[in-house]
Chains A and B, each alone.
Chain A
Amino acid sequence: MMTAGEKLRRFFRTDQGVGLLLVSPTALYALLLLAVPLIAIVVISFLTQTGVRDFAPGLSLVNYKEALSDPLYRELMLRSLMVSGSVTVVTVLLAFPIAYFVSFGVKPEQKSLWIFLITIPFWTSYLIRVFLWKVILGYNGVLNSGLKLVGIIDEPLTFILYNVNAVIITLAHAYAPFAILPIFVALEKIDRSYLEASRDLGESRTMTFLRVTLPLAAPGVVAAVLIVFIPTIGDYVTPKLVGGPGGTMIANMIQTQFLRLNNAPLGATLAVLAMLIVAVIAIVFLIVGYRAAGGGKKGGRG
């Protein structure tokens, strides 16, 4: 009979064992610094604050009741969802033609240069970029003075700064590469002979695009939607700098609860609720997308 220790030692010499051993430092780090804190924040959302660092004993749903019934929190949550949703739609719609152009219209040796050019702005200071949108969209901003100079407008446009529109424009700019890259990767994977076959069988260019290219690009579009929608809901800097009073989002309220009002439990509740709502929407979107794509049927068959 082998002892348990010997069995374990043997296991860690197999391929599976070595893999598990190798991944363990990274996995352990994620466990301690991500899983544990995420669990902690869920727990804290059920507590009530009594002192600076003290909580009342016992769990309660008080924070959830407050977060769901107070019209201010409800409005912030709905606005955040609306902004995230709009940013996602705008970003993905604007990104698709770019991804399509780089995949189908650019010479293979120039593709990586285009992708590199698209990603560069993303790596430059986020704060500075957001602040410059304020400069561009302002009352005497670059856009208004430019349009006035050309004679398109007489009075500066005021609907583009310190409101939700400004937040949407700025976020659509910040998340552009996140939408372009997954769609580009999906388009690159399409076997070009499918398109030729479709044309040979008498489909027009438009029909080939709609019936072959688009369905095959769908996984990339789904990935782009999720990768834009999920993080934007928690953006703090953009609403703070360009949103004005009417453009504040849930992250600003979470920050206020934690760092100003010293009400960590309510802040935690708002964070948990935001994540929960986003997760539900993402899952529903995935299921609907999966059904629409024919229940995961592989392209080119059926």
Chain B
Amino acid sequence: MKTLKTYAILYLVFLYAPIFLLPLFAFNTSTIIAFPLTGFTTEWFTALLDITEMHSALFNSLKIAVTSAVLATIFGIFGAMASTRYHFPGQKGIMGFIMLPLVLPEIIVAVSLLVVILKLGLSTGSWSVIAGHTLICTPFAIAILNSAFAALDPSLEEAAYDLGETRASTFRRVTLPLVMPGIVSALLISFTISMDEFIIAFFLTGADPTLPVYLFSMLRFPKLLPAVMALGTILVVLSILLITIAEIFRRRGAKRAGLKDTGGFL
């Protein structure tokens, strides 16, 4: 086990290497992204304030991510509730198909949506990115919400029915509060996925780029790379923050249901 532990720690170093290097270059005075480091500066962070195209890309991404996260979580609630509480004909096939984007390469989702949009004579834009992101976030939302609904004791809902509540009021007053941590976690994860997704946005974004699409175009200009490092540092810190909050909510949900926690979203 001792050698295994050493290996595990080395593996974590491998996993975290890019993220650890990021702030080093973001605060480095040199415009060349390489060692040795030359000095400390916050210039690249202040430079971000002047790139107005980036601001509109950021705003666009936020709009898309919030909408996609809400839609994916709503679809996720329906899907997870149906698959955990009920048995219906064709259940395996239907659920399998809904979860398919989890393994399908994103480029396939992107090009197939693109051809349909063009064939219908529509033009791409934020709406089409939202449509694609909702599709790929829904399986993640379902995976998280499945465990929240599975942990829910059905006798609590039965008690509410017996006390005269309707299906709708039971859902609102009993089910929803109990699965709330799962819902928050699903929202945050979907938001994070959408904020970071590149390929679907690249194909479907039209004239207004999302933040990753804009970032990708920045990578071609060596002059802009230090600013990319600064932006990346901010994004990584925010992602880690969001994911940590999501994890806290997920665990709280598992604890509320009295489940043994095994960790992990997937």
Listed in ascending order, the chain A residues whose CB lies under 8 Å from chain B are 15-20, 22-27, 29-30, 33-38, 40-41, 44, 53, 94, 97-98, 100-102, 104-105, 111-121, 123-129, 131-133, 135-136, 138, 140-142, 145-146, 173, 176-178, 181-182, 184-185, 188, 226-227, 230-237, 241, 251, 254-255, 258-259, 264, 267-268, 271, 274-275
- Residues facing A in B2-37 (CB within 8 A) are 4-5, 7-8, 11-12, 14-19, 21-22, 25, 33-36
Q: Which residue of B lies closest to A126 (CB)?
A: B196
Across-interface contacts of B132 in A (CB, < 8 A) = 33
Across-interface contacts of A114 in B (CB, < 8 A) = 8, 263
Q: How far is the CB of B204 from chain A (nearest CB, A)?
A: 11
Partner pick for A115 among B89, B105, B242, B264, CB 8 A cutoff:
B264
Q: Which residue of A lies closest to B135 (CB)?
A: A33
Q: Does B40 contact A (CB under 8 A)?
A: no
On whether the beta carbons of A102 and B8 are closer than 8 Å, the reply is yes
User: Which of these binds chain A: B42-50, B90-98, B156-164?
Assistant: B90-98
Q: How far is the CA of A133 from the CA of B232 in the complex (A)?
A: 14
On whether the beta carbons of B87 and A15 are closer than 8 Å, the reply is yes
On whether the beta carbons of B263 and A115 are closer than 8 Å, the reply is yes
> Would you give 10 A-B contacts (Cβ < 8 Å), ordered by A?
A19-B85, A23-B91, A112-B264, A121-B19, A125-B235, A133-B18, A232-B105, A234-B106, A258-B114, A264-B118
Listed in ascending order, the chain B residues whose CB lies under 8 Å from chain A are 1, 4-5, 7-8, 11-12, 14-19, 21-22, 25, 33-36, 74-76, 78-79, 81-83, 85-89, 91, 94-95, 97-98, 100-109, 111-116, 118-119, 121, 131-132, 134-135, 138, 142, 192, 196, 198-199, 202-203, 212, 215-216, 219, 228, 232, 235-236, 239-240, 242-243, 247, 251, 261-266
Partner pick for A233 among B34, B85, B105, B109, CB 8 A cutoff:
B105
Q: How far is the CB of A54 from chain B (nearest CB, A)?
A: 11
On whether the beta carbons of A127 and B115 are closer than 8 Å, the reply is no
10 further A-B contacts with Cβ under 8 Å, apart from A237-B198, A254-B107, are A22-B81, A23-B88, A29-B134, A29-B138, A30-B98, A128-B22, A129-B19, A227-B102, A234-B105, A254-B111
Partner pick for A259 among B12, B203, B242, B265, CB 8 A cutoff:
B203
- Given the known interface contacts A34-B97, A131-B228, A230-B104, the answer about A124 and B34 at a Cβ–Cβ threshold of 8 Å is no
Q: How far is the CA of A133 from the CA of B239 in the complex (A)?
A: 19
On whether the beta carbons of A16 and B104 are closer than 8 Å, the reply is no
Partner pick for A123 among B33, B114, B243, B251, CB 8 A cutoff:
B243
Total residue contacts A-B, CB cutoff 8 A: 263
Q: How far is the CB of B90 from chain A (nearest CB, A)?
A: 8
Partner pick for A22 among B82, B102, B216, B265, CB 8 A cutoff:
B82
On whether the beta carbons of B75 and A241 are closer than 8 Å, the reply is no
On whether the beta carbons of B25 and A30 are closer than 8 Å, the reply is no
Q: How far is the CA of A139 from the CA of B205 in the complex (A)?
A: 35
Q: Which residue of A lies closest to B18 (CB)?
A: A132
Across-interface contacts of A37 in B (CB, < 8 A) = 109, 112-113, 115-116
Q: How far is the CA of A136 from the CA of B18 in the complex (A)?
A: 8
- Given the known interface contacts A29-B75, A105-B5, A141-B34, the answer about A121 and B105 at a Cβ–Cβ threshold of 8 Å is no
On whether the beta carbons of B112 and A38 are closer than 8 Å, the reply is yes
Partner pick for B21 among A15, A132, A188, CB 8 A cutoff:
A132
Q: Which residue of B lies closest to A146 (CB)?
A: B35
Partner pick for A25 among B78, B192, B215, B264, CB 8 A cutoff:
B78
Across-interface contacts of A274 in B (CB, < 8 A) = 105, 108
On whether the beta carbons of A123 and B212 are closer than 8 Å, the reply is no
Partner pick for B264 among A123, A184, A237, A271, CB 8 A cutoff:
A184
On whether the beta carbons of B8 and A101 are closer than 8 Å, the reply is yes
Q: How far is the CA of A41 from the CA of B104 in the complex (A)?
A: 14
Across-interface contacts of B106 in A (CB, < 8 A) = 231, 234
Q: How far is the CA of A136 from the CA of B259 in the complex (A)?
A: 42
